[in-house]
Amino acid sequence: MNQQDKISRLNLTTLLFPLALVLFEFAVYIGNDMAQPAMLQVVQEFGVDTSWVPLSMTAYLLGGALLPWLTGPLSDRFGRRPVLLGGVMWFTASCLATYLVNDIHSYMLLRVLQGFGLCFINAVGYAAIQEAYAETTAVRVTALMANVALIAPLAGPLAGAALVTLAPWRTGFLLIALFSFIALLGLCWKMPETRQPSAEVKLTPRALWQGYSRLLRHGRFVRAALCIPLLAMPLMAWIALSPVLLVEDMGLSALQYGLWQIPVFAGLIGGNLLLALLAERWPLGRSVLVGMWPLLAGLLLMLGSVVFATNRHVYLALGMSLMALGEGLSFAVLYRFALTASIQAKGIVSAGMSMLSMAGYALGIELFRWAYLTAGLPGFAAMALLFSSAFVLLARPQVKLAMAERSDPDLLPQGI
């Protein structure tokens, strides 16, 4: 898409495309969060034991990990619009197909196929957002979309648990398919084509291997992309381990555990909203440098949960809230900087970012789990300090370089 065609002003009309995309993203996310509460009904209907319950989530995430390497280059070859629309149609149909399964093995296979929907969000959808909007506007849109996506892990389990008490478990998938279908209509109506089909993009195994090899040998891209999981990993680990930390170790009730999640998510939402507000007033990248301060302040508070014997949960949750605020101020900008660090087609670049992030999250969760099992809360805090320190050391020079390029148009990477 030419620079003069990119959207620079936000209003209801120009926001309809990202709203449709984020509705699809919401549908895909609740495809996991809303489906899990129904698994007890699923295993009961199919006559199997409860050991199958967690496998539903594993199968779904496996599907999400299988295709990003292909969906990005596919959209470089055939255009973003047909590939994304095809992905939304696939996800909608796979949700409706739950009415056809009659045994647990077919159900798990279908969960893998439903998980393919995850492959189209970042590698195709978010790449199109970055191409459709002027740079600062794209950052604002990404920050606003992140807040909507946060609703899924909060609302999904509650809605799923309520729905299974009122209707058969397949009704949940019917509702998810409805959300996805509405998103499909919105995308058909308002999604622009930001990448014209190009026969020069080859989809042979050799061409894909060469493309990804070239991308992963690009040191600046790899450093910029790794900033994202380094930043986000402490919050991801909090989501994974906070039930154990707060309930089992610190003796909080389930209700208290839920209430202490509120300031953490409020910090993340607040950071995203501040970024959307400040993106046009500050040079792009300043919010990342500013966001490092609440990140470091949050680490100090978290260390208070190790040092002090009383109110440890207060120090821990408030520390995570400040760290989440720093993440909200930074994430959308870091995404933009990583995407523009390479001049390769943005489909393959976005897919490469997704795969690096997934690998980073998988490794990070295991490191946090090992640290917690080895040393408890001090191990968790030490690992958070390690990841956040690595983020600051890696991100500062990357952000300053990107800011310097944007202050001199002659230095800007091609395609911005």
Q: Cα–Cα distance between 351 and 341 in angstroms, integer?
A: 14
Question: Residue 413 — pLDDT band, cuts 50, 70, 90?
Answer: low
Task: Quote the pLDDT of residue 58.
Answer: 83
From 362, 367, 360, select the one nearest 382 (Cα to Cα). 367
Q: Cα–Cα distance between 125 and 330 in angstroms, integer?
A: 20
CA distances from 4 to 8, 47, 281 (A): 9, 60, 21
Render pLDDT for 204-220 as a digit per residue (tens, 0 to 9). Answer: 999 999 999 999 999 99
Q: Cα–Cα distance between 247 and 257 in angstroms, integer?
A: 7
DSSP 133: B
Question: Residue 410 — pLDDT band, cuts 50, 70, 90?
Answer: low
275 pLDDT above the threshold of 70: yes
Domain pair 10-194 / 212-411, same fold: yes
**How is the chain split among helix, strand and coil, in percent rounded to 5?**
85, 0, 15
Q: Cα–Cα distance between 113 and 251 in angstroms, integer?
A: 40
* Inter-residue contact 71 to 353 (CB < 8 Å): no
Q: Which two tokens stand for residue 27?
A: 């549908």
Q: Which residue has the tokens 């408030």?
A: 318
Task: Quote the pLDDT of residue 172.
Answer: 92
Question: Residue 3 — pLDDT band, cuts 50, 70, 90?
Answer: low
Q: Cα–Cα distance between 383 and 367 in angstroms, integer?
A: 8
From 172, 166, 183, select the one nearest 125 (Cα to Cα). 183
Task: Quote the pLDDT of residue 414.
Answer: 56
Backbone angles phi, psi at 7, to 5 degrees: -80, 130
Task: Quote the pLDDT of residue 409.
Answer: 65
Q: Cα–Cα distance between 132 and 126 in angstroms, integer?
A: 10
Q: Cα–Cα distance between 131 and 25 in angstroms, integer?
A: 18
Which is the CATH superfamily of the domain at 10-194? MFS general substrate transporter like domains (1.20.1250.20)
> What pTM, to 2 d.p., does this model score?
0.87
Task: Quote the pLDDT of residue 325.
Answer: 96
24 pLDDT above the threshold of 80: yes
Which is the CATH superfamily of the domain at 212-411? MFS general substrate transporter like domains (1.20.1250.20)
Q: Where are the domains of the chain?
A: 10-194, 212-411
* For the chain, percent of residues with pLDDT exceeding 90: 60
81 pLDDT above the threshold of 60: yes
383 pLDDT above the threshold of 60: yes
365 pLDDT above the threshold of 90: no
CA 29 to chain CA centroid, nearest Å? 10
- Written as one string, the DSSP assignment of 281-332 is TS-TTHHHHHHHHHHHHHHHHHHHHHH-SSSHHHHHHHHHHHHHHHHHHHHH
222 pLDDT above the threshold of 90: yes
Q: Cα–Cα distance between 367 and 339 in angstroms, integer?
A: 27
Give the mean model confidence (pLDDT) for residues 190-203: 90
Task: Quote the pLDDT of residue 166.
Answer: 87
